[in-house]
Amino acid sequence: RVPITPSLGAKTLGLIAFLALEPGPHRREELTALLWGDSPEEKARASLRQALTHLRDALGDSLRVDRATVELTGPLECDAAQFLRVAGVDAAAALAIDVPRFLSGLTVRNCQAFQEWADEKRLELVARYASLLASSAREAMARRAWSDARQLAERWHRLDVLADEPVAVIVEAQYLSGDRTGALATYAKHVALLSKEVGRGPDRALATLAARIEQSSAPRGSKRATENWYEHAPSFDA
């Protein structure tokens, strides 16, 4: 792990973020276009040289620079890289990393190319994060851990408030934990939001789940519910 202690400017931080998440050598022209594309060519080159000098001071031998290319070769720990590394082996550890806020506190002015890269990378990270939340929520449902499932689904829902799938998990988890009224209220709130924002109703799976809940009674406590009740309880098919 390489700690970065010197104070670095926004574009220098943007440069190191790009190098950390896009492994391999990058041509100098690519980097100047990414972060200094709005500047005259000579000024852009000088700005890149200055940024690389600051990065050498911060990273030492972890940064390889020659006349044509720049490459991050040593280990550099950052949240996004750590998330990508552990996402496939430890979902809980990955979900503890707040990747939806990727570069949210970094303002790099007049850098359309960098902003487009950062937005695309954030979408990629959020999609992976949402996928982990979805699989973890469904795994919790399979374990009948209704509270855990609901919390995970609520986090999933916050990433896309118009999506039906996380709401279906929330509704089902509420119902199976004994809160039939709360489940139907969650569904009604989502239906109202969809109508207001996009002028449509929920998908068939969610609507069917809500209809089955409306026609049934609430369980009297998830721990005391019988196996027969679980077999006939409303369920959501993803």
The 3-class SS string of 59-121 reads HHHHEEECCCEEEECCCCCCHHHHHHHHCCCCHHHHHCCCHHHCCCCCCCCCCHHHHHHHHHH
Please give the pLDDT value at position 231: 55
Please give the pLDDT value at position 189: 97
pTM for the model: 0.83
Please give the pLDDT value at position 6: 47
Please give the pLDDT value at position 198: 95
The closest of 103, 69, 97, 64 to 83, measured between CA atoms, is 97
Please give the pLDDT value at position 117: 95
Please give the pLDDT value at position 104: 86
Please give the pLDDT value at position 224: 44
* CB neighbour list of residue 60: distance below 8 Å, 6 or more residues apart: 2, 74
* CB neighbour list of residue 186: distance below 8 Å, 6 or more residues apart: 167, 170, 171, 174
The closest of 29, 57, 68 to 45, measured between CA atoms, is 29
* CB neighbour list of residue 70: distance below 8 Å, 6 or more residues apart: 19, 25, 26, 28, 31, 52, 63, 64
pLDDT digits (tens, 9 = 90+) for 150-170: 999 999 999 999 999 999 999
Residues in the chain with pLDDT values less than 70: 1-7, 218-238
